[in-house]
Each structure stands twice: as C-alpha cells, then as structure tokens.
Structure 1
Amino acid sequence: MSFLSFFAGEKKKSASVAKERLQIILAHERSGSGATRADYLPKLKEELLAVISKYVHIAPSDLKVSLERQENLEVLEVKIELPDNIR
C-alpha cells in the first residue's frame, strides 16, 4: 500500500466486497433475526448477476444460488455457468 493510498483511501475489489456481503447475510440469518431464505436469496442472486454481468454476459438461468443446512453447518452454494468463449 502506498503512502498516498493510505490517506486517500483505496477502493475495495468487487470480490472482497461480495465476500463481505455474503458473510454479513449469513451471520444475520444464523442469528435468527434475519430474513428468511425466501427473502434474501433472490436478492442475492440478482446482485450477483448484476456484478458478474459487468464482466461477462450470462443469462439469469446460468446462475444458481442455494442454501442448505447440513447438521450444524450451513452451506451457501453458488453455481455460475460461464460461456465457452471466455479467455
């Protein structure tokens, strides 16, 4: 980190912002005070699609988001089908 970027602030990468958002959503849902799965998963899918579409054109059907409970774990699964012509 350069001296100037320390004082001017540095813009976070979209991947780290997305990761932070997912962590907040999951922590909120686990606490029991958060929204139900039906409330936030569609919005999460919509936001992920918007971010991915900035870089690659994908159809909404190419993105699948699901949350599963397995014993004492919660697993957030995001599947993205990318076009074959990406380098």
Structure 2
Amino acid sequence: MGILDFLRAKPKNTASIARERLRIIVAQERSTRGGPDYLPLLRSELLEVIRKYVNIDPEAVQVNLESDTGHDVLELSVALPDDEKKS
C-alpha cells in the first residue's frame, strides 16, 4: 500500500447500499399493507380539492389511518407553501 492508494477514493460497498434500499422498500410495503384500499383514492381526491384553493406539491399531502381499540383515526397532514405576498 503506497501513498497514492491512501489518496484514492475507496469504492462504495454496493451490498450495503442495496441492503439499505431494500429496508426502505420493505418499510414502505409494511406501512401500506394493512391499510384500506380506498386510502390512495382518498388522498388523490383530497389533493384535487386542496389544489382548487392552494397550489401545493403532491408530496405535501399525507394520509394515515391508525386503528385503536374500538375506533379508527384518519389523520390528514398538508404542508402549505409560504405566503409569497408577505409585507
């Protein structure tokens, strides 16, 4: 190992990168697996209604359904843009 070997960038471990990506995909699948089928449709319809009044990013709307003993809670989170006309 010479001085030049020390200065060269080490190749990234592709196995660890692939493992991390797989963990993200599995986590997303697990979060949507137990949910009702209507949530994606509900999210898109809510997005259409909100867009009538405010121009927002589609990723700014999050819809979650949490089940507790005896009842379900539907949580809607919308990140509204900053008002550009502030004085």
Name the TM tier (shorter chain). Answer: 0.5 to 0.7
Number of the residue aligned with 1:71: 69
Write the letter of the residue equivalent to 2:57: A
Q: Which runs of 5+ in 1 are unaligned?
A: 1-35
Task: Quote the Cα distance in structure 1 between the aligned partners of 2:83 and 2:44.
Answer: 23
Out of 48, 55, 58, the residue aligned to residue 56 of structure 2 is 58
CA-based RMSD of the aligned residues comes to: 2.0
For residues 1-46 of structure 1, the C-alpha deviation after alignment (integer angstroms, 9 at most, x for no partner) is xxxxxxxxxxxxxxxxxxxxxxxxxxxxxxxxxxx83420000000
Residues 61 and 48 of structure 1, relative CA distance in 2, 3 Å threshold: same
Alignment of 1:1-87 (within 5 A): 37-85=35-83
Task: Could you list the structure 1 runs, at least 4 aligned residues long, displaced by more than 4 angstroms after superposition.
Answer: none
Query: How many matched pairs?
Result: 52
Task: Quote the Cα distance in structure 2 between the aligned partners of 1:86 and 1:62.
Answer: 17
Q: Which has the larger radius of gyration?
A: 2
Task: Quote the Cα distance in structure 2 between the aligned partners of 1:86 and 1:40.
Answer: 35
% same residue: 46
Q: Which runs of 5+ in 2 are unaligned?
A: 1-33
